[in-house]
Amino acid sequence: MSEKNKPSFYKEVRKQFPEVFTAVENLGTTLRTAGPLDEKTSQLIQLAAAAAGQSEGSVSSHTRRAVQAGATPEEITHTLLLLVSTIGFPQTMAAMYWATEVLGTKSKSKKCK
């Protein structure tokens, strides 16, 4: 994610502890390149884990990263939909909502009368 897209709190803490953030980023890169999975698959797996952990920030981040790695909105949606039987319907719907906010595919809801 580009620096401009990162939340201001993230930027503040990163400025305070740059060596920690560098180490975490290096660990992530090392883990993703340690095996046979490609970048897109790795990001989709991390997206699913973020959804399971109900981390809105991580779901948003890994949605962006998955798109950058070549994932389509349909692949992202399917990745999350697969979680219904594992993490539950409400948790999955929350993660799908967060992902659609990033993807810009959130449908406009109609007001109830």
Q: What is the pLDDT of residues 67-113, one digit of tens each?
A: 999 999 999 999 999 999 999 999 999 999 999 999 997 654 444 33
Closest by CA to 5, choosing from 64, 84, 92, is 64
Q: State whether 44 and 85 are in the same domain.
A: yes
Q: Residue 47 is inside which H or E element, if any?
A: helix 39-52
Is the pLDDT confidence value at 8 over 90? Answer: no
- Whose CA is closest to 92, among 80, 76, 74? 80
* Global pTM value: 0.81
* Statement to judge: residues 3 and 18 lie in one domain: yes
Residues 6+ apart with CB under 8 A from 44: 62, 66, 71, 75, 76, 79
Distances (CA, A) of 36 to 33, 48, 79: 8, 19, 19
For 15-72, write each residue's pLDDT tens digit: 999 999 999 999 989 999 999 999 999 999 999 999 999 999 999 999 999 999 999 9
Amino acid type, 104: G
Domain residue limits at 56: 39-104
For residues 27 and 53, membership in a common domain is answered with no
Number of residues that this document lists for the chain: 113
pLDDT reading at 14 higher than 80: yes
Domain identity same for 93 and 47: yes
* pLDDT value for 106: 60
Residue 110 lies in a domain: no
At residue 11, the pLDDT reads 87
Provide the domain count of the chain. 2
The residue with greater pLDDT, 9 or 41, is: 41
Q: Cα(76)–Cα(113) distance, rounded to whole angstroms?
A: 33
Are residue 53 and residue 16 in the same domain, yes or no?
A: no
How far is it, in rounded angstroms, from Cα 25 to Cα 61?
Answer: 13
Can you give the CATH number for the domain in which 99 is found?
1.20.1290.10
